[in-house]
Protein backbone atom coordinates (compact mmCIF):
# COMPACT_ATOMS: atom_id res chain seq x y z
CA UNK A 1 0.00 0.00 0.00
CA UNK A 2 1.42 3.37 -1.02
CA UNK A 3 0.50 6.79 0.35
CA UNK A 4 1.18 10.31 -0.80
CA UNK A 5 4.27 11.80 0.80
CA UNK A 6 3.76 15.25 2.31
CA UNK A 7 6.98 16.83 3.52
CA UNK A 8 7.73 15.36 6.97
CA UNK A 9 4.29 14.05 7.93
CA UNK A 10 3.50 17.04 10.11
CA UNK A 11 6.70 17.03 12.16
CA UNK A 12 8.83 20.17 12.24
CA UNK A 13 12.39 20.25 10.87
CA UNK A 14 13.61 20.53 14.47
CA UNK A 15 11.70 17.41 15.49
CA UNK A 16 13.02 15.48 12.47
CA UNK A 17 16.60 16.52 13.27
CA UNK A 18 16.17 15.38 16.88
CA UNK A 19 14.82 12.05 15.63
CA UNK A 20 18.05 11.57 13.71
CA UNK A 21 20.52 12.80 16.33
CA UNK A 22 18.86 11.63 19.54
CA UNK A 23 15.82 9.48 18.64
CA UNK A 24 14.93 8.54 22.22
CA UNK A 25 16.06 11.72 23.99
CA UNK A 26 13.82 13.95 26.09
CA UNK A 27 13.16 16.29 23.17
CA UNK A 28 12.31 13.51 20.71
CA UNK A 29 8.75 12.74 19.55
CA UNK A 30 9.72 9.08 19.94
CA UNK A 31 10.41 7.47 23.30
CA UNK A 32 11.75 4.08 24.31
CA UNK A 33 9.60 2.50 26.99
CA UNK A 34 10.95 0.86 30.11
CA UNK A 35 11.37 -2.73 28.92
CA UNK A 36 10.36 -5.56 31.30
CA UNK A 37 12.52 -8.68 31.28
CA UNK A 38 9.81 -10.78 29.64
CA UNK A 39 9.71 -8.31 26.74
CA UNK A 40 13.50 -8.27 26.47
CA UNK A 41 13.38 -11.97 25.68
CA UNK A 42 11.17 -11.27 22.65
CA UNK A 43 13.92 -9.22 20.95
CA UNK A 44 16.00 -11.56 18.74
CA UNK A 45 19.14 -9.43 18.94
CA UNK A 46 18.85 -9.20 22.72
CA UNK A 47 18.64 -12.99 23.02
CA UNK A 48 21.81 -13.38 20.94
CA UNK A 49 23.85 -10.75 22.73
CA UNK A 50 22.70 -11.90 26.16
CA UNK A 51 23.74 -15.47 25.35
CA UNK A 52 27.12 -14.29 24.00
CA UNK A 53 27.74 -12.31 27.19
CA UNK A 54 26.64 -15.30 29.26
CA UNK A 55 29.20 -17.51 27.51
CA UNK A 56 31.92 -14.94 28.16
CA UNK A 57 30.79 -14.17 31.72
CA UNK A 58 30.71 -17.83 32.78
CA UNK A 59 33.40 -19.38 30.63
CA UNK A 60 35.85 -16.56 30.05
CA UNK A 61 37.29 -15.35 26.76
CA UNK A 62 36.64 -17.00 23.40
CA UNK A 63 39.52 -17.83 21.10
CA UNK A 64 38.62 -16.71 17.59
CA UNK A 65 39.50 -18.46 14.34
CA UNK A 66 42.50 -17.41 12.25
CA UNK A 67 40.20 -15.07 10.30
CA UNK A 68 38.89 -13.54 13.54
CA UNK A 69 35.50 -15.27 13.46
CA UNK A 70 33.65 -16.96 16.29
CA UNK A 71 33.99 -20.77 16.51
CA UNK A 72 31.32 -22.59 14.48
CA UNK A 73 29.76 -24.20 17.56
CA UNK A 74 29.07 -20.77 19.05
CA UNK A 75 27.92 -19.35 15.70
CA UNK A 76 25.37 -22.14 15.35
CA UNK A 77 24.09 -21.64 18.89
CA UNK A 78 23.80 -17.87 18.63
CA UNK A 79 22.12 -18.06 15.22
CA UNK A 80 19.39 -20.16 16.79
CA UNK A 81 18.50 -17.25 19.10
CA UNK A 82 18.24 -14.72 16.26
CA UNK A 83 15.88 -13.95 13.42
CA UNK A 84 14.67 -16.88 11.31
CA UNK A 85 17.07 -17.86 8.53
CA UNK A 86 16.22 -20.34 5.81
CA UNK A 87 19.65 -21.97 6.03
CA UNK A 88 18.93 -22.87 9.65
CA UNK A 89 15.44 -24.13 8.85
CA UNK A 90 16.90 -26.33 6.11
CA UNK A 91 19.42 -27.81 8.54
CA UNK A 92 22.44 -26.20 6.89
CA UNK A 93 25.70 -26.38 8.84
CA UNK A 94 27.47 -23.03 8.87
CA UNK A 95 31.05 -23.05 7.62
CA UNK A 96 31.81 -19.53 8.85
CA UNK A 97 30.36 -16.76 11.00
CA UNK A 98 29.71 -14.61 7.92
CA UNK A 99 27.23 -17.18 6.56
CA UNK A 100 24.87 -16.24 9.38
CA UNK A 101 22.64 -13.21 8.78
CA UNK A 102 22.38 -12.36 12.44
CA UNK A 103 25.52 -13.38 14.36
CA UNK A 104 27.82 -10.72 12.82
CA UNK A 105 25.18 -8.11 13.66
CA UNK A 106 24.97 -9.31 17.27
CA UNK A 107 28.73 -9.25 17.64
CA UNK A 108 29.03 -5.76 16.16
CA UNK A 109 26.25 -4.31 18.33
CA UNK A 110 27.78 -5.95 21.42
CA UNK A 111 31.00 -4.12 20.54
CA UNK A 112 29.23 -0.82 19.95
CA UNK A 113 27.58 -0.85 23.38
CA UNK A 114 30.96 -1.55 24.97
CA UNK A 115 30.05 -5.01 26.24
CA UNK A 116 32.82 -6.98 24.51
CA UNK A 117 36.35 -6.36 23.31
CA UNK A 118 38.75 -8.15 20.98
CA UNK A 119 42.43 -8.46 21.86
CA UNK A 120 45.09 -10.88 20.60
CA UNK A 121 42.43 -12.62 18.51
CA UNK A 122 40.35 -13.37 21.60
CA UNK A 123 36.91 -12.03 22.47
CA UNK A 124 36.20 -11.15 26.10
CA UNK A 125 33.58 -9.38 28.16
CA UNK A 126 34.32 -5.89 29.46
CA UNK A 127 33.61 -4.50 32.93
CA UNK A 128 30.65 -2.64 31.41
CA UNK A 129 29.53 -5.88 29.79
CA UNK A 130 29.54 -7.64 33.15
CA UNK A 131 27.42 -4.89 34.69
CA UNK A 132 24.91 -4.69 31.87
CA UNK A 133 24.66 -8.49 31.59
CA UNK A 134 23.11 -8.44 35.07
CA UNK A 135 20.52 -5.79 34.06
CA UNK A 136 18.38 -7.08 31.19
CA UNK A 137 16.26 -3.91 30.75
CA UNK A 138 19.41 -1.77 30.55
CA UNK A 139 21.00 -4.19 28.09
CA UNK A 140 17.94 -4.22 25.84
CA UNK A 141 17.71 -0.41 25.89
CA UNK A 142 21.39 -0.12 24.95
CA UNK A 143 20.91 -2.58 22.08
CA UNK A 144 17.84 -0.83 20.64
CA UNK A 145 19.51 2.58 20.91
CA UNK A 146 22.70 1.36 19.22
CA UNK A 147 20.80 -0.27 16.36
CA UNK A 148 18.95 2.99 15.70
CA UNK A 149 21.97 5.30 16.04
CA UNK A 150 25.60 4.13 15.88
CA UNK A 151 25.17 0.80 14.10
CA UNK A 152 26.12 0.94 10.41
CA UNK A 153 24.27 -1.71 8.43
CA UNK A 154 26.44 -1.12 5.35
CA UNK A 155 29.31 -3.11 6.87
CA UNK A 156 27.10 -6.21 6.70
CA UNK A 157 26.52 -6.12 2.93
CA UNK A 158 28.39 -5.87 -0.35
CA UNK A 159 26.19 -3.19 -1.87
CA UNK A 160 28.06 -0.41 -3.61
CA UNK A 161 25.36 2.15 -3.03
CA UNK A 162 25.15 5.61 -1.57
CA UNK A 163 26.99 5.62 1.78
CA UNK A 164 24.12 7.22 3.69
CA UNK A 165 21.24 5.22 2.19
CA UNK A 166 19.54 3.24 4.93
CA UNK A 167 21.91 4.65 7.56
CA UNK A 168 20.01 7.90 8.16
CA UNK A 169 16.42 8.09 9.35
CA UNK A 170 15.88 5.05 11.61
CA UNK A 171 14.14 7.16 14.25
CA UNK A 172 11.94 8.77 11.62
CA UNK A 173 11.05 5.39 10.13
CA UNK A 174 10.09 4.13 13.60
CA UNK A 175 7.84 7.15 13.99
CA UNK A 176 6.14 6.38 10.68
CA UNK A 177 5.76 2.74 11.67
CA UNK A 178 4.14 3.87 14.91
CA UNK A 179 1.55 5.70 12.83
CA UNK A 180 1.11 3.42 9.84
CA UNK A 181 2.59 0.04 10.76
CA UNK A 182 -0.66 -1.80 11.37
CA UNK A 183 -1.10 -1.89 7.58
CA UNK A 184 1.18 -3.21 4.86
CA UNK A 185 2.94 -0.15 3.48
CA UNK A 186 5.51 -0.54 0.73
CA UNK A 187 9.16 -0.10 1.63
CA UNK A 188 9.12 2.57 -1.06
CA UNK A 189 6.79 4.68 1.06
CA UNK A 190 9.35 4.75 3.88
CA UNK A 191 12.17 5.35 1.41
CA UNK A 192 10.44 8.34 -0.19
CA UNK A 193 9.48 9.68 3.24
CA UNK A 194 13.16 9.64 4.25
CA UNK A 195 14.14 11.44 1.04
CA UNK A 196 11.61 14.16 1.90
CA UNK A 197 12.78 14.42 5.50
CA UNK A 198 16.53 14.19 4.80
CA UNK A 199 17.43 15.92 1.50
CA UNK A 200 21.06 14.86 1.98
CA UNK A 201 19.90 11.41 0.83
CA UNK A 202 18.75 12.73 -2.54
CA UNK A 203 21.69 11.67 -4.70
CA UNK A 204 21.86 9.73 -7.94
CA UNK A 205 23.35 6.76 -6.07
CA UNK A 206 20.51 6.51 -3.56
CA UNK A 207 18.14 3.63 -4.33
CA UNK A 208 15.20 1.73 -2.87
CA UNK A 209 16.92 -1.68 -2.79
CA UNK A 210 19.84 -0.43 -0.66
CA UNK A 211 17.44 1.39 1.66
CA UNK A 212 15.28 -1.72 2.13
CA UNK A 213 18.26 -3.94 2.90
CA UNK A 214 19.97 -1.56 5.32
CA UNK A 215 16.95 -0.08 7.08
CA UNK A 216 14.73 -3.13 7.39
CA UNK A 217 16.53 -6.39 6.62
CA UNK A 218 19.87 -5.60 8.29
CA UNK A 219 18.58 -3.32 11.06
CA UNK A 220 14.99 -3.23 12.33
CA UNK A 221 14.24 -6.88 11.58
CA UNK A 222 16.90 -7.90 14.12
CA UNK A 223 14.94 -6.05 16.81
CA UNK A 224 11.86 -8.07 15.92
CA UNK A 225 9.75 -4.95 15.35
CA UNK A 226 8.97 -5.34 11.63
CA UNK A 227 7.64 -8.04 9.35
CA UNK A 228 8.60 -8.00 5.66
CA UNK A 229 6.59 -9.61 2.90
CA UNK A 230 6.91 -9.82 -0.87
CA UNK A 231 3.94 -8.92 -3.09
CA UNK A 232 3.53 -9.25 -6.84
CA UNK A 233 3.17 -5.97 -8.70
CA UNK A 234 2.16 -6.21 -12.33
CA UNK A 235 3.17 -9.17 -14.46
CA UNK A 236 6.82 -9.46 -13.47
CA UNK A 237 7.73 -7.22 -10.53
CA UNK A 238 7.47 -7.63 -6.78
CA UNK A 239 7.64 -5.11 -3.95
CA UNK A 240 8.59 -5.39 -0.30
CA UNK A 241 5.90 -4.38 2.17
CA UNK A 242 6.44 -3.61 5.81
CA UNK A 243 4.29 -3.74 8.92
CA UNK A 244 5.08 -3.53 12.62
CA UNK A 245 4.91 -6.56 14.89
CA UNK A 246 3.09 -6.73 18.26
CA UNK A 247 6.50 -6.26 19.91
CA UNK A 248 6.80 -2.78 18.38
CA UNK A 249 4.23 -1.17 20.68
CA UNK A 250 5.86 -2.80 23.71
CA UNK A 251 9.08 -0.90 22.97
CA UNK A 252 8.10 2.51 21.61
CA UNK A 253 5.72 5.36 22.33
CA UNK A 254 5.34 8.61 20.41
CA UNK A 255 3.65 11.97 20.63
CA UNK A 256 1.70 13.64 17.81
CA UNK A 257 3.27 16.38 15.65
CA UNK A 258 3.37 19.81 17.29
CA UNK A 259 2.63 18.64 20.81
CA UNK A 260 4.69 20.22 23.55
CA UNK A 261 8.25 18.94 23.90
CA UNK A 262 9.83 18.58 27.31
CA UNK A 263 11.96 21.57 28.29
CA UNK A 264 15.68 21.12 27.76
CA UNK A 265 17.55 20.75 31.05
CA UNK A 266 20.19 23.41 31.56
99-136 tens-digit pLDDT: 899 999 999 999 999 999 999 999 999 999 999 999 99
Q: Are 220 and 173 within 8 A, CB to CB?
A: yes
Please tell me the predicted confidence (pLDDT) of residue 52. 98
Please tell me the predicted confidence (pLDDT) of residue 259. 65
Give the other-Cβ count within 10 Å of 76's Cβ: 16
Give the other-Cβ count within 10 Å of 255's Cβ: 16
Q: Domain residues of the chain, as ranges? A: 13-23+156-254, 37-148
Tell me which fold the domain 37-148 belongs to.
Arc Repressor Mutant, subunit A (1.10.10)
Nearest alpha carbon to residue 23 among 193, 175, 197, 171: 171
Looking at residue 194, what DSSP letter applies?
H
Q: How far is CA 135 from CA 40, 143, 147, 199, in A?
A: 11, 12, 19, 39
Please list the ranges in the chain whose pLDDT falls under 70.
1-7, 161, 258-266
Please tell me the predicted confidence (pLDDT) of residue 262. 53
Q: How far is CA 29 from CA 25, 122, 256, in A?
A: 9, 41, 7
CATH of domain 13-23+156-254: 1.10.10
| pLDDT tens-digit map of 220-241 | 999 999 999 999 887 788 899 9
Across the beta sheet with 62-63, the strand order is 62-63, 122-125, 116-119
Please tell me the predicted confidence (pLDDT) of residue 240. 95
3-class SS shares of the chain: helix, strand, coil, % to 5: 45, 15, 40
d(CA 15, CA 21): 10
Please give the model's pTM, rounded to 2 decimal places. Answer: 0.90
Amino acid sequence: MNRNITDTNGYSPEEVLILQCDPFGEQSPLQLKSIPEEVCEQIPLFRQIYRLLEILYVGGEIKLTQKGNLPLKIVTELAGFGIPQKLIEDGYAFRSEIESESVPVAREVARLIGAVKKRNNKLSITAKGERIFCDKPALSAAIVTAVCTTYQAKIMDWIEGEELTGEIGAGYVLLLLNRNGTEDYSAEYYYLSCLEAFPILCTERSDLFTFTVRMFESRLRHLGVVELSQHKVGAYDTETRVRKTPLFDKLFIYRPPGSQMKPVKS
